Amino acid sequence: MGDVLDTSARLLRLLFLLQTRRDWPSADLADRLGVAPRTVRRDIDRLRSLGYPVHSTPGVSGGYRLGRGAELPPLLLDDDEAVAVAVGLRTAANGTVTGIEETSLRALAKLEQVLPAHLRSRVNTLQTHTVRINREGPTVDADVLTRAAAACRDREQLRFDYTDHQGRSAERKAEPHSLVTKGNRWYLVGWDVERAAWRTYRADRIRLRTPNGPRFVPREPPEPDVAAWVQNGLAHEMWPVEGRFLVHAPAARIAGRTAGTVEPDGDDRCVLTLRGDDLHLMAVVVAFLDVDFEVLEPPELRDRLHVLGRRLLSSRI
C-alpha cells in the first residue's frame, strides 16, 4: 500500500513540475523527484495512460513537454491559482457574457468542494467584503467571443450581421485582430474587407454567420497599442467636439485639474485638449482653470467665451 501511495504522490509531483515549465530534461526531472531516469519514463507512461498528452522532446538532453490533448485531464493548481480561478468564476457568474453564468456556478461548486479550508476562507472573505454594482446594458453571447477569439488565432475571416447604433443591420466581412474589453463592453477590432479600413465592432451587436471566410495574411494593427486605439475611438464617438487651448501655465500646474490632455509647450506654457459634446460647457471648464489662455481651435469657442464673459460681467453679485 505504501508503494502505491508513494507512486501516486510522485505522479502528482511530476505533473505539477510539467505544468510549471515548457520543457523538462529527463535528468532534471529525475533529480527533482529523487528517482532514476527509468522511473521517470515509467511515470510518464502512467500519465499518458491517464490522458495527459506528454510529448518527448528530441536532442542530446532530450526530455518531456506537457502538450494539448483531445480531452481535458485533471489540473493541478497552487494556492494562488486556485483562489484566482474561484474569484474569476464568481465574477463570471454575474458578468456580461451570456450563457456562462450557470456553467460558472457549476464549475465553482466543484472547485469549492475540494478547496482546503484556508483557501475557501480567502475566497469567501473577498466575496463577503466586495460590493458589486448591478450590471447595465446588453450582454454578449459567449459563442461570439470564443468564435471571434478562435478566428483571431487562426487568421480566418469572419462573416457576420452587424447592427449599428441607429439600429440598421448589414452583413460585414472582417479580418479579426483582437478582442478588447472596457467596462461592461466587449469590442472586436478587425480590418473591414469591404470598407478597406480598421473598424471597432461592439460584440453584443454581432451575429456570426457560418462558416467563417477564408484565411488571411495578418496586417499591422492601426496602432501598436490596440486597446489605446479603441479607447481613443470610443472617446471620439462619445465626445465628438474637440477644443484646443494654448494655456500660459506649466503643464504640471494644469495636469490633474481637468480631464483633458495636457502637452508641454516650453517651460511655462502647455497645450490643453478637451473633448465633449457642448462648446459652452467646454468654455466654462477652461475659464475655471483661472489661468490665461488662447483658443487654438475651433473658432466657435471664442464666440462662446465672449458670450460667457459678457454674461458674467453683466450679472449682479
Q: Each residue of 30-85: pLDDT tens digit?
A: 999 999 989 999 999 998 888 888 888 876 667 898 887 655 666 677 788 888 88
Question: How many residues are given for the chain?
Answer: 317
Asked if 64 and 79 count as a contact pair (C-beta separation under 8 A), the reply is no
User: Is the model's pLDDT at 294 over the cut of 90?
Assistant: yes
User: Higher model confidence: residue 153 or residue 161?
Assistant: 161
| Lowest mean pLDDT segment, chosen from 23-27, 209-213, 230-234, 282-286 | 230-234
126-144: average pLDDT: 73
Question: What are the angstrom distances between the C-alpha of 194 and each of 144, 168, 173, 254?
Answer: 21, 17, 7, 44
Question: In this predicted structure, what is the pLDDT of residue 258?
Answer: 78
Cell numbers that stand for 105 in this block: 456556478
Name the most confidently modeled range: 9-23, 104-118, 196-210, 294-308. 196-210
Are the CB atoms for 67 and 54 separated by under 8 Å? Answer: yes
What confidence score (pLDDT) does residue 135 get? 60
pTM here?
0.56
Looking at residue 259, its pLDDT comes to 74
Q: How confident is the model at residue 132 (pLDDT cuts 50, 70, 90)?
A: low
Q: Which of 27, 29, 22 is nearest to 68 (CA)?
A: 22
Confidence of residue 1 (pLDDT cuts 50, 70, 90): very low
Residue 71 pLDDT: 58
Mean pLDDT on 233-250: 82
- 238 φ, ψ (degrees, to nearest 5): -80, -35
Sign for the CA dihedral angle at 297, 300, 306, 308 comes to negative
Average pLDDT over residues 156-177: 93
Which one has a higher pLDDT value, 190 or 278? 190
Rounded to an integer, the average pLDDT of 266-270 is 91
**Bigger pLDDT: 170 vs 140:** 170
Whether the Cβ atoms of residue 158 and residue 203 lie closer than 8 Å to each other = no
SS3 content of the chain, % helix, strand, coil (to 5): 45, 25, 30
User: What torsion, rounded to 10 degrees, do the Cα atoms 40, 42, 44, 45 define?
Assistant: 170
Mean pLDDT of the residues in the chain: 84
Of 290 and 137, the one with more pLDDT? 290
pLDDT band at 207 (very low <50, low <70, confident <90, very high): very high
Q: What are phi and psi of 38, to 5 degrees?
A: -65, -35
Give the dihedral of Cα atoms 23, 25, 30, 32; nearest 10 deg.
-50
Residue 193: pLDDT band (50, 70, 90) is: very high
Does 212 have pLDDT greater than 80? Answer: yes
Band of residue 4 on the pLDDT scale cut at 50, 70, 90: low
pLDDT at 166: 80
Residue 314 has a CB neighbour count (10 Å cut-off) of: 7
CA distances from 37 to 23, 31, 82, 124, 198 (A): 16, 9, 31, 43, 54
Which of 41-50, 85-94, 250-259 is least confident?
85-94
In angstroms, the CA 144 to CA 207 distance is: 8
Which of 259, 130, 135 minimizes the C-alpha distance to 185?
135
Strand partners, 65: 55
Give the cell for residue 257. Answer: 485639474
Q: What is the pLDDT of residue 2?
A: 45
